[in-house]
């Protein structure tokens, strides 16, 4: 059926060629048939897409199971390292089953039986204590999210939700090219996005796309200040993020490329601060990079900017204002202080007031006149927040693009 329709469109029978039809009636019937076929094709494509989406979703189950397996193996491995015992003796056998299976099965998916063991083990107080100290070892962010829902995930009819897909950790290797259209003021604008991996081994590949980009979306994990790199356990993750940001900002190949800085994982930052895990351990260690954290007070406009961008609810302006007022009472002041302070640090790097790597070439005053850096407080797994941020970015990117080609 598809071929027929394609051939029909390709042959131009939908056109106005009067010689093609013997009579008006024949033309009318042909047009009607065309309409029906077009409708059938649309429906067929819709169904195919639905099927594809379903298959894509089902395909994610394997990745999610891998996340669960990786998480529990890492936590159980850390029990000994942190000298923590399991609460229930009966769980020791479960632990051995999992570790043994993990070592023999490599990357294979977990069996349902093992998932049942994991579900019980995850509730053990010893495992929970070990999880609460996960900043002392390398655990993926989605560990708790998936371990909390093992019961649901091991059901035969389980289908990952959008949130499950967003939470699933799949490391990026190589460069992934994604193209899509968005509508701006009613006109479709084509976007071409290159997704690159952030790990050290991946960064040397970035240069391949430097030439063709108009803007860089730089995602920094601002909650990572008490963690070290997976690749180098002596290096603080947040310090590394700041250093890469500086290198990108000062890179001579990116002199005309603007940066949209996403200060990401605000939800994780909020949770850490709520648990009393302040950024001060890092700021005390590197006072030349992080001066005066203890005495820092965000201005009221900075507070409002944070609350508006991070906590702005859906709805009209009036609701928003009221809601901001009530929300600000709920938001931990230390969260606002830390988020705004971190923004200051990034902006100091932008202005050259903080220099992390003095060996990076000295640059003249007008070096940055053809590009800028805009910042956003984000939580990439919160679709509302990211939708708002991306709406702002879209307009910015289009403007930068037009500026770059001298159109505005
Ligand atoms: N809670 C929370 N989790 C996040 C947020 N952003 C990303 N994650 C989680 O962090 C993990 C890593 O996210 P990725 O998008 O794979 O990170 P990445 O920067 O692409 O990592 P690479 O591919 O190694 O460069 C995933 O499990 C995500 O769900 C966030 O704002 N909040
Ligand atoms: Mg990635």
Q: Which residue has the higher pLDDT, 362 or 369?
A: 369
Domain harbouring 73, CATH code: 1.10.400.10
% of the chain surpassing 70 pLDDT: 86
Asked if residue 311 and residue 285 are part of one domain, the reply reads: yes
Identify which ligand lies nearest to the alpha carbon of 140.
1
Across residues 179-207, what is the average pLDDT?
86
Tokens of 37: 């076929």
pLDDT(12) > 50: no
Q: Does 200 fall in a domain? A: no
Residues 235 and 128 in one domain: no
Domain presence at residue 143: yes
- Does any domain span residue 156? yes
From the CA of 68, how far away is ligand 2's center (Å)? 18
130 shares its domain with 30: no
How confident is the model at residue 328, as a pLDDT? Answer: 65
Over the stretch 85-120, which tens digit does the pLDDT of each residue have?
Answer: 999 999 999 999 999 887 776 656 678 889 999 999
pLDDT tens-digit map of 233-269 = 999 999 999 999 999 999 989 998 999 999 999 999 9
pTM exceeds cut of 0.95: no
Residue 14 has pLDDT above 50, yes or no: no
Distance from residue 385's CA to the centre of ligand 2 (Å): 19
Index of the ligand 1 atom closest to the CA of residue 199? 24
The whole-number average pLDDT for the span 30-49 is 78
Ligand 1 atom 2, closest CA: 265
Band of pLDDT at residue 408, cut at 50, 70 and 90 = low
Per-residue confidence band for 76, with pLDDT thresholds at 50, 70 and 90: very high
Q: Is the pLDDT of residue 363 over 50?
A: yes
How are beta strands 215-221 and 258-264 bridged, if at all?
A: parallel
Q: Classify residue 184: in a domain, yes or no.
A: no
Highest mean pLDDT among 14-23, 283-292, 358-367: 283-292
Residues 10 and 90 in one domain: no
pLDDT recorded at residue 386: 84
Band (pLDDT 50/70/90 cuts) for residue 195 is: very high
Residue 168 has pLDDT above 80, yes or no: yes
In a domain, 332, yes or no: yes
Number of domains composing the chain: 3
Residue 63 sits in the same domain as residue 49? no
Domain limits for position 38: 2-56
Cβ of 196 below 6 Å from ligand 1: no
Res 50: pLDDT: 74
Same domain, 330 and 391: yes
Q: What average pLDDT does the chain have? A: 84
Residue 27 has pLDDT above 90, yes or no: no
C-beta atoms surrounding 144 within 10 Å: 18
**Are 51 and 95 in a shared domain?**
no
Do 291 and 150 lie in one domain? The reply is no
Phi–psi pair at 180, nearest 5 degrees: -155, 160
* CA contacts within 13 A on the Cβ side of 165: 12
Amino acid 36: pLDDT: 81
- Residue 79, H or E segment: helix 24-81
Q: Which of 37, 56, 75 is the last residue of a domain?
A: 56
* Residue 179: CA count within 13 A, CB half-sphere: 3
pLDDT tens for 302-326 read 999 999 887 655 544 444 444 555 5
Ligand showing the shortest atom-to-Cα distance for residue 176: 2
Last residue of a domain, one of 38, 56, 74: 56
Q: Which pLDDT belongs to residue 73? A: 94
Would you say residue 393 has pLDDT above 50? yes
The answer to whether residues 321 and 240 belong to one domain is yes
pLDDT confidence band for 329 (50 / 70 / 90): low
Residue 41, helix vs strand vs coil: helix
Do 52 and 159 lie in a common domain?
Answer: no
Asked if residue 204 is part of any domain, the answer here is no
- Residue 20 included in any domain: yes
- Residue 194 domain flag: no
Intra-chain end-to-end CA distance of the chain, in Å: 48
Which is more confidently placed, 135 or 329? 135
Domain boundary among the residues 151, 167, 183 is at 167
- Tell me the best of 380, 386, 387 to mutate to test the pocket of ligand 1, counting ligand atoms within 8 Å of each CB and taking the most: 380
Question: What is the per-residue pLDDT for 225?
Answer: 96
Q: Which residues contact 390 (CB under 8 A, 6 or more apart)?
A: none
Most confidently predicted of 18-32, 41-55, 372-386: 372-386
Separate counts of helices (H) and strands (E) for the chain = 17, 5
Residues 373 and 224 in one domain: yes
Among 265, 339, 386, name the best residue to mutate to test ligand 1's pocket (greatest count of ligand atoms within 8 A of Cβ): 265
Are both 260 and 282 inside the same structural domain?
yes
């Amino acid at each position: 059926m598809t071929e027929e329709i394609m051939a029909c469109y390709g042959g131009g029978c939908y056109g106005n060629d009067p010689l093609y039809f013997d009579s008006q009636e024949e033309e009318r019937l042909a047009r009607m048939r065309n309409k029906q076929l077009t409708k059938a094709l649309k429906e067929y494509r819709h169904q195919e897409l639905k099927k594809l989406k379903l298959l894509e979703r089902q395909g994610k189950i394997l990745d999610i199971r891998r996340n669960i397996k990786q998480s529990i193996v890492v936590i159980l491995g850390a029990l000994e390292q942190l000298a923590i015992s399991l609460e229930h003796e009966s769980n020791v056998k479960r632990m051995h089953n999992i570790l043994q299976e993990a070592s023999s099965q490599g990357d294979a998916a977990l069996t349902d039986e093992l998932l049942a063991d994991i579900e019980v083990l995850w509730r053990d107080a010893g495992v929970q204590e070990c999880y609460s100290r996960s900043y002392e070892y390398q655990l993926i962010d989605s560990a708790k999210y998936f371990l909390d829902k093992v019961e649901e995930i091991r059901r035969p009819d389980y289908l990952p939700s959008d949130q499950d897909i967003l939470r699933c950790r799949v490391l990026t290797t190589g460069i992934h090219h994604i193209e899509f259209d968005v509508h701006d003021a009613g006109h479709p604008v084509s976007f071409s996005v290159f997704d690159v991996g952030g790990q050290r081994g991946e960064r040397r590949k970035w240069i391949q796309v430097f030439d063709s980009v108009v803007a860089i979306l730089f995602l920094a994990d601002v909650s990572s200040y008490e963690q070290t790199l997976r690749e180098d356990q002596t290096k603080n993750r947040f310090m590394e993020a700041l250093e890469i940001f500086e290198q990108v900002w000062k890179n001579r190949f990116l002199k005309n490329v603007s940066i949209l800085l996403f200060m990401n994982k605000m939800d994780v930052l909020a949770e850490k601060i709520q648990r009393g895990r302040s950024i001060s351990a890092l700021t005390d260690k590197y006072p030349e990079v992080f001066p005066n954290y203890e005495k820092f007070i965000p201005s009221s406009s900075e507070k409002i900017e944070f609350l508006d961008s991070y906590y702005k609810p859906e709805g009209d302006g009036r609701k928003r204002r009221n809601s901001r007022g009530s929300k600000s009472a709920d938001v931990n002041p230390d969260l606002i202080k830390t988020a705004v302070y971190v923004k200051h640090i990034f902006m100091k790097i932008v202005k050259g007031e903080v220099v992390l790597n003095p060996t990076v070439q000295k640059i003249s005053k007008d070096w940055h006149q053809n590009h800028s850096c805009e910042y956003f407080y984000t939580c990439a797994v919160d679709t509302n927040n990211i939708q708002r941020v991306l709406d702002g970015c879209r307009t910015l990117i289009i403007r930068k693009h037009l500026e770059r080609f001298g159109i505005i």
